[in-house]
Structure 1
Amino acid sequence: MWGGDHNHHDRIDRWNQRPASYRLQVAGDQPSGVVDYNMYTAFRTQFDNAADKDLVVIELSTLGGDPEVARMMGEDVRFASETEPQRRFVFLGKAVIYSAGVTFMSFFARSNRYHARGTRLMIHERKLSKSLVIDGPLTTCIAVVRATLNEIECSIAMQNEGFENLILGSNVTIDEVMQKAPSNWYLEAQEAKTLGLIETVL
């Protein structure tokens, strides 16, 4: 674990000086990028370019987006972390880390999660907008309803898996997340640190 704030800043400065380190920015062309397939393409290109680096700092600022794309990006980080344990992958959140951005962050070990001062997080439940049309033989109607229910239950399971990863090693319980997430849970970076969701604020 790193020391006080001054030491944290010194360490970040040294990241930029180390030939074996790489800073990867995935926010796209806008200050707050949308987590979508365009972001994933940019992420993969930079991630692959950093294949020979021991330390990879992944910067992100986002208002959210597609949670499945966030999971794809996260799985890339998780796979590389497990297959190449000598490398370190660090998440650096800036300004806003909302929704799918938090999903992506949850794939990093808590000790590798950093936020710039003043960064805000927003944790919420997945949302579904779908019209269910019931029209036809009764047995077919039941199948349609069950299919939708299965879809919802699967999405809830994936959502809760992400919540569990997010709070691992923190002072936050899954019950607390489930209570606050439906109404959008906003956290300032320092509060996230106090709760143990991130390592520190830079």
Structure 2
Amino acid sequence: MTDLPNKAAQYPALAKPHIQLHGTVDDRMYDSFQSQLASAPGDGPLVVSITTLGGDPEMARAMGDSIRLLRDYTGREALFLGKVAVYSAGATFMSAFPVDKRFLTHGSRLMIHERLMTSTVTLSGPLSTLPSTLKAKLNEIEDSIRIQDEGFESLVAGSKVTLDQLKAKATSNWYIEAQEALDLGLVLDVI
């Protein structure tokens, strides 16, 4: 193994994240995020780290919205630090941070995929009511695709990856090593 350059001194704020998230992205992680955010110092860059194999993309979007609102209303810089695994909903959360505010640790991996759905449509009742049931499910699918694509656009904004490239790779779980993420411009640096 070749020696990796130690870039830690270039980014001293990343040494001690104010918010440290790990595990499944779910209601509990959201609650932990909000609690740590409320306890974080009110000035200087806010550093958020995450290690996750995935979870609920809506909870990831909600945490990301809190970061966006903090940035928009206070102008405060927020830095993202992905550690070890930033899979699925973790990448959704990462998309809330501009590319030049994203970092990964050496050996970390991103995994990006399309949203998943498991559903059963039960058709029961008068025939005239059944098309509405099917249309409602189709509307749900189409809106979920729109939400997914909005997140994908945010994830690749400012990088070398196009939305079409991401969408093509996301159909089969795209795993990206930290160095590759750097080469693709998805993160500012690997530390």
- Range 122-131 or range 173-182, more displaced: 173-182
Aligned match for 2:122, one of 100, 112, 133: 133
How far apart are 1:24 and its partner, in Å? 1.4
The aligned amino acid for 1:46 is: Q
Matched, 1:111 2:111: no
SS of 1:157 mapped into structure 2: helix
Matched, 1:13 2:17: no
Matched, 1:162 2:130: no
Q: Say if 1:22 and 1:55, in contact at 8 Å, map to a contact too.
A: no
Aligned match for 1:34, one of 15, 24, 29: 24
Q: 1:142–1:51: structure 2 CA closer, same or farther, 3 Å change rule?
A: farther
Determine the C-alpha separation between the residues in 2 that align with 1:84 and 1:51: 13
After TM superposition, the score normalised by the length of structure 2 is 0.94
Matched, 1:124 2:123: no
Q: What residue number does 1:177 align with?
A: 166
Determine the C-alpha separation between the residues in 1 that align with 2:66 and 2:10: 25
Q: What residue number does 1:23 align with?
A: 18
Q: Say if 1:22 and 1:50, in contact at 8 Å, map to a contact too.
A: no
The alignment yields a C-alpha RMSD, in angstroms, of 1.4
Q: Say if 2:18 and 2:36, in contact at 8 Å, map to a contact too.
A: no
Determine the C-alpha separation between the residues in 1 that align with 2:43 and 2:134: 50
Aligned match for 1:78, one of 52, 68, 79: 68
Q: Which runs of 5+ in 2 are unaligned?
A: none
Q: What residue number does 1:89 align with?
A: 78
Determine the C-alpha separation between the residues in 2 that align with 1:125 and 1:15: 30
Determine the C-alpha separation between the residues in 2 that align with 1:26 and 1:150: 33
Aligned match for 2:42, one of 32, 46, 52: 52
Q: What residue number does 1:30 align with?
A: none
Q: Say if 2:17 and 2:49, in contact at 8 Å, map to a contact too.
A: no
After TM superposition, the score normalised by the length of structure 1 is 0.89
> Residue by residue, what CA displacement relative to the aligned partner does 1:77-108 show, whole Å, maximum 9, x if unpaired?
000001111x2100000000000000000000
Determine the C-alpha separation between the residues in 1 that align with 2:54 and 2:115: 11
Q: Which runs of 5+ in 1 are unaligned?
A: 28-32
How far apart are 1:51 and its partner, in Å? 5.0
